[in-house]
Amino acid sequence: MLLEMEIEVTKTGSPKYNEVDLNNPEFGKYLADHMLIADYANGKWGTPKIIPFQNLSMSPAMLALHYGQTVFEGMKAFRTKNGAISIFRMDKHLKRFNRSLERMCMPPVPEEIFYEGLKKLVETDRNWVPGADGASLYIRPFMFASEERYGVKISEEYKFIIFSGPVGPYYNQPLRVKVETGFVRAPKGGTGYAKCGGNYGGSFYPTALARKEGYDQVFWTDARTNEYIEESGTMNVLFMIDDVLVTPAISDSILDGVTRDSILTLAREMGVKVEERSVAVAELEAALKAGTLTQAFGAGTAAVVAPIQDIYINGVDYSLPKWGDDCFMLTVKKKLADIRTGAIEDTHHWNTLI
Ligand code: COI
Protein backbone atom coordinates (compact mmCIF):
# COMPACT_ATOMS: atom_id res chain seq x y z
CA MET A 1 0.00 0.00 0.00
CA LEU A 2 1.25 3.49 -0.78
CA LEU A 3 1.18 6.44 1.56
CA GLU A 4 -1.79 8.66 0.84
CA MET A 5 0.37 11.74 1.13
CA GLU A 6 3.89 12.25 -0.16
CA ILE A 7 6.52 12.39 2.62
CA GLU A 8 7.65 15.99 2.79
CA VAL A 9 11.45 16.39 2.84
CA THR A 10 13.16 19.44 4.31
CA LYS A 11 16.86 19.22 3.57
CA THR A 12 19.59 20.59 5.76
CA GLY A 13 21.47 23.60 4.43
CA SER A 14 24.70 22.31 6.01
CA PRO A 15 25.28 18.58 5.21
CA LYS A 16 28.12 17.02 7.18
CA TYR A 17 28.99 13.82 5.31
CA ASN A 18 32.24 15.33 4.05
CA GLU A 19 33.41 15.79 7.65
CA VAL A 20 33.34 12.07 8.51
CA ASP A 21 35.73 9.34 7.35
CA LEU A 22 33.15 6.89 6.06
CA ASN A 23 35.68 4.09 5.64
CA ASN A 24 36.00 3.17 9.30
CA PRO A 25 33.52 5.07 11.46
CA GLU A 26 33.35 4.20 15.15
CA PHE A 27 30.07 2.44 15.88
CA GLY A 28 27.38 4.74 17.23
CA LYS A 29 29.29 8.02 17.02
CA TYR A 30 28.13 9.69 13.82
CA LEU A 31 24.64 10.78 12.81
CA ALA A 32 23.54 11.33 9.24
CA ASP A 33 22.00 14.67 8.28
CA HIS A 34 18.29 13.82 8.39
CA MET A 35 15.65 11.98 10.38
CA LEU A 36 12.10 10.86 9.78
CA ILE A 37 9.43 11.66 12.32
CA ALA A 38 5.76 10.70 12.58
CA ASP A 39 3.29 11.35 15.39
CA TYR A 40 0.51 9.11 16.63
CA ALA A 41 -2.42 10.78 18.42
CA ASN A 42 -6.19 10.38 18.66
CA GLY A 43 -5.91 6.78 17.48
CA LYS A 44 -4.17 7.51 14.19
CA TRP A 45 -0.86 8.24 12.52
CA GLY A 46 -0.01 11.61 11.05
CA THR A 47 1.95 11.92 7.80
CA PRO A 48 5.67 11.35 8.40
CA LYS A 49 8.14 14.00 7.40
CA ILE A 50 11.88 14.09 6.87
CA ILE A 51 13.71 16.97 8.50
CA PRO A 52 17.31 17.85 9.37
CA PHE A 53 18.53 15.79 12.34
CA GLN A 54 17.70 17.79 15.44
CA ASN A 55 16.89 17.67 19.14
CA LEU A 56 13.33 17.14 20.29
CA SER A 57 11.33 19.24 22.65
CA MET A 58 9.57 17.09 25.25
CA SER A 59 7.78 17.26 28.55
CA PRO A 60 9.62 15.94 31.63
CA ALA A 61 6.31 14.19 32.35
CA MET A 62 6.48 12.26 29.07
CA LEU A 63 5.39 8.69 29.83
CA ALA A 64 8.31 6.88 28.11
CA LEU A 65 10.77 8.49 30.51
CA HIS A 66 8.98 7.04 33.52
CA TYR A 67 7.44 3.73 32.55
CA GLY A 68 9.63 2.60 29.68
CA GLN A 69 7.26 2.27 26.74
CA THR A 70 10.03 2.48 24.16
CA VAL A 71 10.97 0.05 21.39
CA PHE A 72 13.68 0.13 18.72
CA GLU A 73 15.07 -1.71 15.73
CA GLY A 74 18.58 -1.90 14.32
CA MET A 75 18.92 -2.22 10.55
CA LYS A 76 21.57 -1.65 7.92
CA ALA A 77 21.92 -0.24 4.41
CA PHE A 78 24.87 -1.13 2.19
CA ARG A 79 26.59 0.35 -0.83
CA THR A 80 26.57 -2.31 -3.56
CA LYS A 81 29.52 -3.04 -5.81
CA ASN A 82 27.94 -1.00 -8.63
CA GLY A 83 27.26 2.02 -6.44
CA ALA A 84 23.56 1.40 -5.68
CA ILE A 85 22.20 1.27 -2.13
CA SER A 86 20.35 -1.65 -0.59
CA ILE A 87 18.47 -1.98 2.70
CA PHE A 88 18.66 -5.43 4.30
CA ARG A 89 15.52 -7.43 5.21
CA MET A 90 13.08 -4.57 5.77
CA ASP A 91 10.13 -6.95 6.11
CA LYS A 92 11.64 -9.05 8.89
CA HIS A 93 12.63 -5.95 10.83
CA LEU A 94 9.15 -4.45 10.53
CA LYS A 95 7.56 -7.70 11.68
CA ARG A 96 9.78 -7.84 14.75
CA PHE A 97 9.25 -4.13 15.45
CA ASN A 98 5.49 -4.58 15.46
CA ARG A 99 5.71 -7.69 17.67
CA SER A 100 7.79 -5.70 20.15
CA LEU A 101 5.30 -2.82 20.00
CA GLU A 102 2.40 -5.18 20.67
CA ARG A 103 4.16 -6.58 23.77
CA MET A 104 4.71 -3.04 25.05
CA CYS A 105 1.06 -2.12 24.40
CA MET A 106 2.00 0.34 21.66
CA PRO A 107 0.21 0.74 18.31
CA PRO A 108 1.80 -0.88 15.23
CA VAL A 109 3.61 1.23 12.66
CA PRO A 110 1.86 0.78 9.29
CA GLU A 111 3.88 -0.85 6.51
CA GLU A 112 3.62 2.16 4.25
CA ILE A 113 5.08 4.53 6.86
CA PHE A 114 7.90 2.12 7.73
CA TYR A 115 8.86 1.11 4.19
CA GLU A 116 8.31 4.41 2.39
CA GLY A 117 9.86 6.35 5.27
CA LEU A 118 12.95 4.16 5.39
CA LYS A 119 13.51 4.26 1.66
CA LYS A 120 13.06 8.00 1.43
CA LEU A 121 15.28 8.68 4.45
CA VAL A 122 18.11 6.49 3.15
CA GLU A 123 17.70 8.07 -0.29
CA THR A 124 17.91 11.55 1.28
CA ASP A 125 21.09 10.57 3.16
CA ARG A 126 22.56 8.40 0.41
CA ASN A 127 25.91 10.21 0.61
CA TRP A 128 26.29 8.78 4.12
CA VAL A 129 26.26 5.15 3.00
CA PRO A 130 29.86 3.85 3.24
CA GLY A 131 31.35 1.66 0.53
CA ALA A 132 34.31 0.22 2.45
CA ASP A 133 34.37 -3.46 3.46
CA GLY A 134 32.76 -3.95 6.87
CA ALA A 135 31.17 -0.48 6.91
CA SER A 136 27.49 0.31 6.42
CA LEU A 137 24.75 2.77 7.27
CA TYR A 138 23.18 1.71 10.57
CA ILE A 139 19.50 2.61 10.71
CA ARG A 140 17.66 3.10 13.99
CA PRO A 141 13.85 3.12 13.79
CA PHE A 142 12.31 3.59 17.24
CA MET A 143 9.12 4.62 18.93
CA PHE A 144 8.26 5.93 22.36
CA ALA A 145 5.32 7.07 24.48
CA SER A 146 5.15 10.84 24.22
CA GLU A 147 2.02 11.66 26.17
CA GLU A 148 2.52 14.13 29.03
CA ARG A 149 1.06 12.33 32.04
CA TYR A 150 2.63 10.85 35.15
CA GLY A 151 -0.06 8.43 36.31
CA VAL A 152 0.88 4.86 35.39
CA LYS A 153 -1.00 4.31 32.16
CA ILE A 154 -0.68 3.22 28.55
CA SER A 155 0.24 6.27 26.52
CA GLU A 156 -2.22 7.56 23.95
CA GLU A 157 0.45 9.48 22.05
CA TYR A 158 3.65 8.24 20.42
CA LYS A 159 6.52 9.40 18.25
CA PHE A 160 8.03 7.15 15.59
CA ILE A 161 11.48 8.29 14.47
CA ILE A 162 14.16 6.90 12.19
CA PHE A 163 17.71 8.21 12.17
CA SER A 164 20.86 6.66 10.80
CA GLY A 165 24.63 6.89 10.92
CA PRO A 166 27.67 5.32 9.23
CA VAL A 167 29.25 2.49 11.23
CA GLY A 168 32.20 0.15 11.15
CA PRO A 169 32.46 -3.10 13.14
CA TYR A 170 30.74 -3.19 16.54
CA TYR A 171 33.44 -5.47 17.96
CA ASN A 172 36.99 -5.06 16.73
CA GLN A 173 38.48 -8.21 18.19
CA PRO A 174 37.50 -11.74 19.26
CA LEU A 175 35.45 -11.68 22.43
CA ARG A 176 35.92 -12.97 25.94
CA VAL A 177 32.51 -13.97 27.25
CA LYS A 178 31.25 -14.90 30.72
CA VAL A 179 28.38 -17.36 31.18
CA GLU A 180 26.18 -15.45 33.64
CA THR A 181 24.43 -17.66 36.17
CA GLY A 182 23.49 -15.06 38.78
CA PHE A 183 21.73 -12.17 37.09
CA VAL A 184 19.10 -12.90 34.44
CA ARG A 185 17.94 -11.00 31.38
CA ALA A 186 14.44 -12.32 30.74
CA PRO A 187 12.01 -14.73 32.40
CA LYS A 188 9.47 -16.85 30.55
CA GLY A 189 6.47 -14.69 29.82
CA GLY A 190 8.56 -11.53 30.10
CA THR A 191 9.70 -9.06 27.45
CA GLY A 192 12.86 -10.89 26.33
CA TYR A 193 11.73 -11.29 22.70
CA ALA A 194 10.83 -7.62 22.40
CA LYS A 195 13.41 -5.03 21.45
CA CYS A 196 12.33 -2.70 24.21
CA GLY A 197 14.70 -0.29 25.92
CA GLY A 198 14.37 -1.87 29.35
CA ASN A 199 15.93 -5.16 28.22
CA TYR A 200 19.11 -3.24 27.48
CA GLY A 201 19.04 -0.95 30.53
CA GLY A 202 18.59 -3.99 32.77
CA SER A 203 21.63 -5.70 31.30
CA PHE A 204 24.08 -2.85 31.92
CA TYR A 205 24.86 -3.62 35.56
CA PRO A 206 25.72 -7.35 35.17
CA THR A 207 27.62 -6.58 31.96
CA ALA A 208 29.59 -3.81 33.70
CA LEU A 209 30.53 -6.28 36.47
CA ALA A 210 31.65 -8.83 33.86
CA ARG A 211 33.71 -6.11 32.14
CA LYS A 212 35.48 -5.38 35.42
CA GLU A 213 36.39 -9.05 35.54
CA GLY A 214 37.90 -8.79 32.05
CA TYR A 215 35.04 -10.01 29.84
CA ASP A 216 33.52 -8.19 26.86
CA GLN A 217 30.06 -9.65 27.15
CA VAL A 218 27.91 -12.14 29.02
CA PHE A 219 25.97 -15.16 27.83
CA TRP A 220 22.60 -14.90 29.54
CA THR A 221 21.17 -18.14 30.90
CA ASP A 222 17.51 -19.02 31.42
CA ALA A 223 15.87 -17.29 34.37
CA ARG A 224 14.42 -20.45 35.98
CA THR A 225 17.42 -22.79 36.21
CA ASN A 226 20.45 -20.86 34.88
CA GLU A 227 21.35 -24.09 33.10
CA TYR A 228 20.67 -23.15 29.48
CA ILE A 229 22.28 -20.53 27.25
CA GLU A 230 19.89 -17.90 25.85
CA GLU A 231 21.65 -15.03 24.06
CA SER A 232 24.25 -12.38 24.59
CA GLY A 233 23.26 -8.78 25.34
CA THR A 234 23.85 -7.43 21.85
CA MET A 235 23.54 -10.56 19.73
CA ASN A 236 22.32 -14.16 19.39
CA VAL A 237 24.90 -16.89 19.94
CA LEU A 238 25.83 -19.85 17.76
CA PHE A 239 28.22 -22.76 18.29
CA MET A 240 29.91 -25.28 16.03
CA ILE A 241 29.89 -28.55 17.99
CA ASP A 242 31.04 -31.71 16.24
CA ASP A 243 30.52 -29.94 12.89
CA VAL A 244 26.89 -29.15 13.73
CA LEU A 245 25.78 -25.53 13.96
CA VAL A 246 23.91 -25.35 17.24
CA THR A 247 21.98 -22.35 18.57
CA PRO A 248 19.34 -21.81 21.25
CA ALA A 249 15.85 -22.07 19.75
CA ILE A 250 13.89 -18.81 19.65
CA SER A 251 11.54 -18.43 22.60
CA ASP A 252 9.77 -15.60 24.39
CA SER A 253 12.98 -14.82 26.28
CA ILE A 254 15.26 -14.61 23.23
CA LEU A 255 15.36 -11.97 20.50
CA ASP A 256 14.47 -13.35 17.06
CA GLY A 257 17.62 -12.06 15.37
CA VAL A 258 17.57 -11.16 11.69
CA THR A 259 21.27 -11.96 11.27
CA ARG A 260 20.77 -15.25 13.16
CA ASP A 261 17.99 -16.20 10.76
CA SER A 262 20.06 -15.19 7.71
CA ILE A 263 23.04 -17.25 8.91
CA LEU A 264 20.92 -20.33 9.59
CA THR A 265 19.36 -20.05 6.12
CA LEU A 266 22.79 -19.78 4.48
CA ALA A 267 24.23 -22.58 6.63
CA ARG A 268 21.49 -24.98 5.53
CA GLU A 269 22.16 -24.05 1.90
CA MET A 270 25.88 -24.67 2.45
CA GLY A 271 25.03 -28.19 3.61
CA VAL A 272 25.84 -27.53 7.26
CA LYS A 273 23.69 -29.42 9.74
CA VAL A 274 21.77 -26.95 11.90
CA GLU A 275 20.13 -27.57 15.27
CA GLU A 276 17.90 -24.96 16.94
CA ARG A 277 17.34 -26.36 20.41
CA SER A 278 18.18 -25.96 24.09
CA VAL A 279 21.91 -25.54 24.67
CA ALA A 280 22.94 -26.53 28.17
CA VAL A 281 25.87 -24.81 29.86
CA ALA A 282 27.02 -28.32 30.82
CA GLU A 283 27.03 -29.33 27.14
CA LEU A 284 29.25 -26.36 26.25
CA GLU A 285 31.55 -27.14 29.15
CA ALA A 286 31.90 -30.79 28.13
CA ALA A 287 32.43 -29.86 24.46
CA LEU A 288 35.08 -27.28 25.38
CA LYS A 289 36.87 -29.87 27.51
CA ALA A 290 36.67 -32.49 24.74
CA GLY A 291 37.73 -30.03 22.02
CA THR A 292 34.54 -30.64 20.02
CA LEU A 293 33.34 -27.03 20.36
CA THR A 294 35.42 -25.54 17.57
CA GLN A 295 33.72 -22.19 16.89
CA ALA A 296 31.51 -19.88 18.92
CA PHE A 297 30.21 -16.57 17.66
CA GLY A 298 27.66 -13.87 18.19
CA ALA A 299 25.34 -12.74 15.40
CA GLY A 300 23.45 -9.48 15.21
CA THR A 301 22.82 -6.51 12.96
CA ALA A 302 25.41 -4.43 14.77
CA ALA A 303 27.79 -7.27 15.64
CA VAL A 304 27.36 -9.07 12.25
CA VAL A 305 29.47 -12.17 13.05
CA ALA A 306 31.56 -11.71 16.19
CA PRO A 307 34.00 -14.58 16.88
CA ILE A 308 34.37 -15.63 20.50
CA GLN A 309 37.82 -16.49 21.79
CA ASP A 310 37.23 -17.38 25.45
CA ILE A 311 34.23 -18.58 27.44
CA TYR A 312 34.08 -18.45 31.24
CA ILE A 313 32.01 -21.23 32.84
CA ASN A 314 31.78 -21.90 36.56
CA GLY A 315 35.17 -20.46 37.51
CA VAL A 316 37.12 -21.68 34.47
CA ASP A 317 38.17 -19.78 31.33
CA TYR A 318 38.07 -22.04 28.30
CA SER A 319 39.81 -20.97 25.09
CA LEU A 320 38.43 -21.91 21.70
CA PRO A 321 40.92 -23.54 19.30
CA LYS A 322 42.50 -21.27 16.67
CA TRP A 323 40.27 -20.86 13.64
CA GLY A 324 41.34 -20.43 10.01
CA ASP A 325 40.04 -18.09 7.31
CA ASP A 326 38.06 -20.97 5.84
CA CYS A 327 36.09 -21.71 9.03
CA PHE A 328 32.29 -21.60 8.88
CA MET A 329 31.77 -18.34 10.78
CA LEU A 330 34.12 -16.32 8.54
CA THR A 331 32.85 -18.01 5.38
CA VAL A 332 29.22 -17.25 6.20
CA LYS A 333 30.14 -13.69 7.21
CA LYS A 334 31.69 -13.15 3.78
CA LYS A 335 28.71 -14.74 2.04
CA LEU A 336 26.35 -12.42 3.87
CA ALA A 337 28.47 -9.39 2.96
CA ASP A 338 28.57 -10.53 -0.67
CA ILE A 339 24.78 -10.84 -0.81
CA ARG A 340 24.31 -7.42 0.76
CA THR A 341 26.73 -5.72 -1.60
CA GLY A 342 25.51 -7.51 -4.72
CA ALA A 343 28.74 -9.50 -5.27
CA ILE A 344 26.62 -12.67 -5.33
CA GLU A 345 22.98 -13.17 -6.20
CA ASP A 346 20.38 -12.26 -3.59
CA THR A 347 18.31 -15.40 -4.11
CA HIS A 348 16.18 -14.78 -1.00
CA HIS A 349 15.24 -11.23 -2.00
CA TRP A 350 16.66 -9.83 1.23
CA ASN A 351 17.83 -6.57 -0.36
CA THR A 352 15.61 -3.62 -1.16
CA LEU A 353 17.45 -1.55 -3.75
CA ILE A 354 16.77 2.15 -3.64
C1 COI B 1 21.60 -4.36 16.74
O2 COI B 1 22.29 -5.33 16.50
O3 COI B 1 21.14 -3.64 15.85
C4 COI B 1 21.24 -4.00 18.09
O5 COI B 1 20.22 -3.43 18.27
C6 COI B 1 22.20 -4.34 19.16
C7 COI B 1 22.77 -3.16 19.86
C8 COI B 1 23.42 -2.15 19.00
C9 COI B 1 21.84 -2.58 20.85
CATH topology of domain 8-168: D-amino Acid Aminotransferase; Chain A, domain 1 (3.30.470)
Domain residue ranges of the chain, discontinuous segments joined by +: 8-168, 175-340
Confidence grade of residue 4 (pLDDT, cut at 50, 70, 90): low
Answer whether 74 contacts ligand 1 (Cβ < 6 A).
yes
- Which of 216, 234, 254, 258 has most ligand 1 atoms within 8 Å of its beta carbon, as the pocket-test mutant? 234
pTM of the model: 0.96
Q: What is the mean pLDDT of residues 2-15?
A: 86
Digit-coded pLDDT (tens) for 248-287: 999 999 999 999 999 999 999 999 999 999 999 999 999 9
List the residue whose alpha carbon is closest to atom 8 of ligand 1: 302
List the residue whose alpha carbon is closest to atom 5 of ligand 1: 74
Judge whether residue 88 has pLDDT over 80.
yes
Closest ligand 1 atom to residue 72 Cα is 5
Confidence grade of residue 1 (pLDDT, cut at 50, 70, 90): low
Answer whether 300 contacts ligand 1 (Cβ < 6 A).
yes
Digit-coded pLDDT (tens) for 130-171: 999 999 999 999 999 999 999 999 999 999 999 999 999 899
CATH topology of domain 175-340: D-amino Acid Aminotransferase; Chain A, domain 2 (3.20.10)
SS (HEC) of the chain: CCCCCCCEECCCCCCCHHHCCCCCCCCCCCCCCEEEEEEEECCEECCCEEEECCCCCCCCCEHHHHHCCEEECCEEEEECCCCCEEEECHHHHHHHHHHHHHHCCCCCCCHHHHHHHHHHHHHHCHHHCCCCCCCEEEEEEEEEECCECCCCCCCCCEEEEEEEEEECCCCCCCEEEEEECCCCCCCCCCCCCCCEHHHHHCCHHHHHHHHHCCCCEEEEECCCCCCEEEEECCEEEEEEECCEEEEECCCCCCCCCHHHHHHHHHHHHCCCEEEEECCEHHHHHHHHHHCCEEEEEEEECCCEEEEEEEEEECCEEEECCCCCCCCHHHHHHHHHHHHHCCCCCCCCCCEEEC
